[in-house]
Structure 1
Amino acid sequence: MAAIGLQNQCVEGPVDHRVGVIFAHPGISAGAASLENQLVDECVSVATAAGHPLDDGEVAKVRAYVSQAGSIITTSMVREMENDSPIEADQIIGDMMRRASSFSLPAPILSTVHAHLKSYELRGSQRIAA
């Protein structure tokens, strides 16, 4: 779940956040694929350190799943953001970050995604307070 978070959360504006749309766009796909692969690597490292290693075939399936042009997948968090609803930044991405930290694993992409999600939450709380 965390592995798909990157392209769904780091794209701003009136953009279709489905994975297939993002990866079908020639101006975005190469950079998104590189970042997505780094995020998958971070998640796999955390899972392995936590005693849940994935074999190479499983990792290949995850990579294909989260980067397939034409795919219609998205996340519930995107739908929540599109509806200005609360999200689960700490429960999903934050949890992976905490686990990475507990194993002293670097997680710069997870940290970037988490920062973006927390800024969304801050914007939402400011709208409510106004």
Structure 2
Amino acid sequence: MRLLVVGAGATGGYFGGRLAQAGKDVTFLLRPKRAAQIREQGLTILATTGEFTVKPQVVTADQLRPEYDAILLTVKAFALEAALADLAPAVGPGTMVLPVLNGMRHLDVLSERFGAGAIPGSLCKVATTLDDQGRIKQLGPFHQLIYGERDGGITPRIQALDAFLQGATFTATLSTHIMRDMWEKWIMLATLGCVTCLMRGTIGEIEAAAGGVEFVNAVLEEILTIARLTGEAPGAAYVEETRKMLTTKGSGATSSMYRDLMGGLPIEADQIVGDLLKRARGAGIATPLLGAVYANLRVYQNRLEG
């Protein structure tokens, strides 16, 4: 199997780097400046288990051919449209496109462009960031890719992908309920992003504030209602695990959206929060807290764009 990884940022660089380290046939699709940097210096990952550098295969958009079995799409959700034009020449008749973007709206965009059959479900769980030298720093020990056919079937192509992804240090999991898995991640990610961004603090700081736990639980309940009525209901154990994580005393946990916001970077407000609101309004679900968070995030984003 041949895999194309779109982007060598915090997420794509981490998983692609791990696969390259394991000797898998991996190529990175990069912008010319990033491609030149990695060709010269390699791709360095500051993992929790130690630092390593690989020199992977690199291409730019003008060099692409439809010769890949799978494409791992790791760009930020607001960069999806621009990435589609770059990666389109790499998509052949049997190519799978595996997006690990936040939210769910990207599935519709990709299905419209390449056909629903080309887009299995997929998600990742990892905490990484890109430093000012272009190195990828792993912030926590967890690192998992989860993937599966959207109808839950076990097909030859998904089995081949699963075999390819095994043995690369991170946890690779073939799921027969990937849509529920994706909704569960969205629930956790959206709640974490909403509360940390609005309160401008860590989970531990929010928990320690008067009314903090009640606020977190109220936001979570609004998002759970949207999932149950418009998407896939999460498992009871997952809900309680998420609730516990979001209210842990002394926790330093934040969201990637919070880290981007504090760094003055663009954020995925529309994809993580706005799309939930759109689904809620379509179903007549009242979401006053989610609406307040989204307005707050749009003020920030509008200021950047303006």
Task: Identify whether the pair has TM-score above 0.5, normalized to the shorter chain.
Answer: yes
Match of 2:262 in 1: 82
Which of these residues, 279, 286, 304, is aligned with residue 106 of structure 1? 286
- What is the match of residue 61 of structure 1? 241
Which residue identity is paired with 1:71?
S
Partner of residue 9, structure 1:
197
Q: May I ask how many residue pairs the two structures share in their alignment?
A: 118
Matching residue within 157, 182, 204 for 1:20: 204
Q: Which runs of 4+ in 1 moved over 4 A?
A: none
Deviations, residues 48-101 of structure 1 (Å, cap 9, x unaligned):
112411233222111111111122211111111111111110010001111111
- Structure number with the higher strand fraction is 2
Partner of 2:272: 92
Q: TM-score, normalised by structure 1?
A: 0.81
* Unmatched runs of 5 consecutive residues or more in structure 2: 1-188
Shift in Å, 1:104? 1.0
- What's the % identity of the aligned pairs? 31
Corresponding residue for residue 81 of structure 2: none
Looking at structure 2, the residues matched to 11 and 20 of structure 1 have their Cα atoms a distance apart, in angstroms, of: 11
Greater helix content: 1
Q: RMSD between aligned alpha carbons? A: 1.6
- The separation in 1 between residues aligned to 2:239 and 2:204, in whole angstroms, is 19
Alpha-carbon separation, structure 2, partners of 1:51 and 1:85: 30
User: For 1:10, what is the secondary structure of its paired residue?
Assistant: helix
Once residues 199 and 233 of structure 2 are traced to their aligned partners in structure 1, the CA distance between those partners, rounded to angstroms, is 30
Shift of 1:119: 0.9
Distance 1:2 1:35 in 2: 14
1:14-43 Cα distance to aligned partner (Å, 9 max, x none): xxx2212321x3xx1x41211211111111
- Indicate the structure whose relative CO is greater, using CA pairs within 8 Å and at least 6 residues apart: 1
8 A Cα contact 1:7 1:32, kept in partner: no
Unaligned runs of 5+ in 1: none
